[in-house]
Structures are given as C-alpha cells and as structure tokens.
Amino acid sequence: MTKVSPDVAGALDRRYVVKDDPWSSHGIIKTWLAQRAAGAKVLDIGAATGMLGEQFARFGFSLHGVEPHPAWAEVARPYYAALVCGTLDQVEDAFLADHDVVVCADVLEHIAQP
C-alpha cells in the first residue's frame, strides 16, 4: 500500500467533485463521450482519482489513464484497463498511441511548459 503524506491524505479527502451542470466542462465531456460506441479506446490524461473512469466504465469503453500523483493513481486504478503513474512526458509513446478519444480535462494548468 502506498504511504500517503498528510497533504495527499487531505487531497484524497477532498475528491474531485463531478460538475453535473450540462454546460460545465464535465457535462460537455460526458455528453460527448456518451455518443461514442462501446469498445472505443479512451485515454484520460490527468485521471486524478478516477472520476471519468468511474462514470464511463459501464459504457464498455477501453479506458486508459495517466496520473502523476501516486496516491491518486492508486485510487483511480480500479476504473481503468490500464493506468500509468507519471507525467505525460514520462509515459511511453506506445501507451499514448492508438486511442479513439483523448481527454485532457482540467490539466493544462498542471503542465510545466504548455
């Protein structure tokens, strides 16, 4: 089990909240993804604690995720067919390739040099 610092524990206690408003970024992503066929390969960049994976696991997507925060990655892992703990720059190109949809929701502000 991953040892969690007090900062991380506090962050995990404040799980990312789904914004259900249809005009929020989450609502728009949800509407857009719901139109995809079962079996679509979806890559979630910045998976956090797995909010997207949890919502869309039942849609029959092949969900893959990237999350740099080790404790968050462990929370998210059950919702993804594959999840890599690391930054986008650290992930192998082969893992990033060949997806039908790539979601980068709420991640731009976390990229060192966007």
C-alpha torsion sign, points 75, 79, 83, 86: negative
What's the rounded mean pLDDT across residues 29-56? 91
CATH number of this structure's domain 18-107, picked from the four choices 2.60.40.10, 2.40.290.10, 3.40.50.2000, 3.40.50.150: 3.40.50.150
Q: What is the pLDDT of residues 59-81, one digit of tens each?
A: 899 999 999 999 999 999 999 99
Q: Are 103 and 32 in contact (CB under 8 A)?
A: no
Of the two residues 17 and 62, the one the predictor is more confident about is 62
56 confidence band (pLDDT: 50, 70, 90):
confident
Extents of the domains making up the chain? 18-107
pTM over 0.85: no
Residue 34 is classified by DSSP as H
Q: Are 49 and 75 in contact (CB under 8 A)?
A: yes
